[in-house]
Structure 1
């Protein structure tokens, strides 16, 4: 059984999780519970659990601080975060700590059970990987296994070549291929056995290399380089024929000419398997070649801060609100490039897209673009983000989902676009509106759009925006709001700046207007 510690400051929730989840049938046992992170640390030291379930907001030490403390201390146990919708901004920070799951309160029993099954698979895989090296095969396969473990420091190359020669593995070229079936842990052993038997008969009988089972993978060591797309496709088709309906990921680590370099190629192949989410599907993957390196994805630096991501969320929302549907997919690809270049793994990228999409949904809901009755389907979609095997499929689904809420732009043309701009300003005058933002949404250069706007309205963009804000300010002042409240409400962070703008356009101060 896998030990679990539940950390939450609500006794009823702790008790509910203990009693409502079928822990034993899922392969878990609740070792202990705690009401805050500080108490949990002591318990974790005593119980040594493999899974922590923690609320993100707690007194004394919250869930995020707890996970940060555990990671800093070198603990690698899995963590599941519980959070309310209101904690969205706070929960984004959990991404960098590699949490295994993110569930929204109140906890749905079915979603928790599904998450626990995924986490159990990850824990068991890691257990088996550690135990695997304590056992296994002999002769040729044993020597291949030796090539797949890190070489000893200052190892004698001559001794290695002698061992390889005795095993009849001294070839001019070596190509490592790693195959990972996309199945549940319950099905994995049977699937690996089927792949092993079929590939062994095909590859070893024609003296093309060696096939071994090294949980959770099937590994091929080929004696002929897979140079060219045709050879890689032929091998992929052979694997697919044996796998039948079972989906799988297969990757090559590249060709090497020395036995001592096989381990590095193996590491590269495993890395390519782990990065399959970022690659093209239905082909033999190659180390270092991923979807995000293609020209359709922007080449961005990895140092994007939260302000950059917030700006991306705003641009996506503005694109939907302005009806510029063509901008949505490029912005989603820009987000994917940012997340990937922050060295996030598949799980973290999915979480990032969960947060990004959720942020846009919140803005759409706040502007009454999403009806309350639609929120149930929205929640289902958000939770389904974690189920996609490939990034491109995920982007397509998010793109399709968001377009359902895009404003209908109607017919094109400059007159219509200026009307869109005016309508947009009327809806978003209180935000940090910039001509450059609208230029991006309408695919114009900033100077050209500014000139076009002035020709059609007789006003510079900033002047027009100021006048809209001042008109709204007059309405709010007439309702009895205080000057500083009005300034903040209409988008002026600085009261003195609001004062000067109001006096410029109205010839008197806001106070004088309010109390003539």
Structure 2
């Protein structure tokens, strides 16, 4: 960003080293942020908050006196839009979970990963940007009017002299009559935004804007304008109420036809007057909550009489499901795990939770299960932050649950493979020890396979895989090593050594020894004696 700071930040931690590290290691100015103060405890933080009114607070959870959760409750009570990020140790996850329930934006585990914090701050700043835009557009008639007029002027400056009849409501107050709002939202926008280069993004958004403007003119829309990234608003006159579903479906069709991108449409209840734009927007986005529970794009209409009742309900943490999920991970029961994730999906659907609440719950579950696997030594190279990032980019509940199933069942399968490998290693070591103790006798592969309770074919494959030898090669190696030891350290006759190492025929023993060492037993004794 590199410009003047847009948002103020305070840092709270009882460890001075952490405060200094955070101030020095993060490119605050580049993020459009300014650290306006630091505090060692909750009481000091309250004083700074009163003095500077920061937009963002980053605080440790465990501090003497007022802890981080108490501080968060205090500062968010009067300013719920303020961003609060908590820092916790590995043993304090229950505190971090409580902070998330109480409204924390996110949390960091110590030791702090500065790259992870930077990404978190970027998302927090983006949320503050979105809130600022919402306030400007939906809560201020003056700002909305200025934006519309500036848009009209820009059309003329760019050489487009077509009459902007679809924006005449600004001049003739057509919004004083009944109208309704459609919010058009691109599916998978976060993923697309990561894929697009800046120039590509401008072209795509410009193309979609043109599609929507032309479509709005043809279908009687009052105006169309972009709102959040990947989101556009269209206003319609009341007389088109009966055509809501048809209009929404045609919008989806046209965008997919000309841009190959999918989108969903939320449509509001009827409203009247420019001051009701914010209410209309809330109604349309309330309808879009349903997108989270749909596996594909669609038109979602806020229904008469739904009102506040259609808001997502509180989502209590399902401890019973957590306990069952932990047990399935501990026992590596992937079938049970998949079934429990389906139960969790049903639980969230029954509570009609908003995406943010469901996402937060599933991230908590993911962290708990990850820690269980970590504690049980079941993890390979699998970074938790990658999974959490994937979860936050998911578009709907089905996708979220699918990601969790895939990630954990894959890791459990890997753990099972490792266990099988470890069990195979122990069996081969057991077989080797048996061979070492019984090599002087006429030892057969059938006898050893039976001893380790494997079929002959399975034993042959496993022994070769784990030791690098066939059974006969290893048996011969043991016998030859023993024979060399006897030849070096005793004067026992060669013909007497043969039965001592498992060969009844001295001539055959001599042949095998020469093949293995390149010398006869007598030559070996002379050279090493």
Alignment TM-score, normalising by the size of structure 1: 0.61
Counterpart position of 2:9? 4
* SS of equivalent residue, structure 1 residue 285: strand
Q: 8 Å contact 2:61–2:68 — kept in the other structure? A: yes
Counterpart position of 2:405? 399
Deviation of 1:21 after TM superposition, in Å, equals 0.8
Deviation of 1:269 after TM superposition, in Å, equals 0.6
Q: 1:219 aligns with which of 229, 233, 239?
A: 233
* SS of equivalent residue, structure 1 residue 137: helix
Counterpart position of 2:254? 238
Distance 2:61 2:327 in 1: 30
Distance 2:302 2:337 in 1: 30
Report the structure, 1 or 2, having the larger helix content. 2
Structure 2 gaps, min length 5: 151-168, 305-311, 417-529
* SS of equivalent residue, structure 1 residue 99: coil
Which of 1 and 2 has greater Rg?
2
Counterpart position of 1:88? 93
Distance 2:254 2:149 in 1: 22
When structure 1 is superposed on structure 2, of 377-386 and 110-119 the one drifting more is 377-386
Counterpart position of 2:35? 30
* SS of equivalent residue, structure 1 residue 9: coil
Counterpart position of 1:202? 215
Q: 1:127 to 1:271 in 2, by over 3 A?
A: same
**Per-residue CA distance 1:468-515 (angstroms, 9 max, x = gap):** xxxxxxxxxxxxxxxxxxxxxxxxxxxxxxxxxxxxxxxxxxxxxxxx
Counterpart position of 1:508? none
Distance 1:227 1:328 in 2: 45
Q: 2:326 aligns with which of 317, 321, 326?
A: 317
- Give 1:68-107 correspondences, 5 Å limit: 68-107=73-112
Counterpart position of 1:351? 360
Q: 1:69 to 1:138 in 2, by over 3 A?
A: closer
Q: 2:143 aligns with which of 123, 135, 141?
A: 135
Counterpart position of 1:116? 121
Q: 1:317 to 1:338 in 2, by over 3 A?
A: same
Distance 1:339 1:84 in 2: 29
Counterpart position of 2:284? 269
1:285 aligns with 2:300: yes
Distance 1:329 1:58 in 2: 40
Q: 8 Å contact 1:8–1:34 — kept in the other structure? A: yes
Deviation of 1:259 after TM superposition, in Å, equals 7.3
Counterpart position of 1:386? 392
Question: Over aligned residues, Cα RMSD in angstroms?
Answer: 4.0
Deviation of 1:69 after TM superposition, in Å, equals 1.2
* SS of equivalent residue, structure 1 residue 208: coil
Q: 8 Å contact 1:55–1:82 — kept in the other structure? A: yes
Q: 1:232 to 1:63 in 2, by over 3 A?
A: same
Higher relative CO (Cα under 8 Å, sequence separation at least 6) belongs to: 1
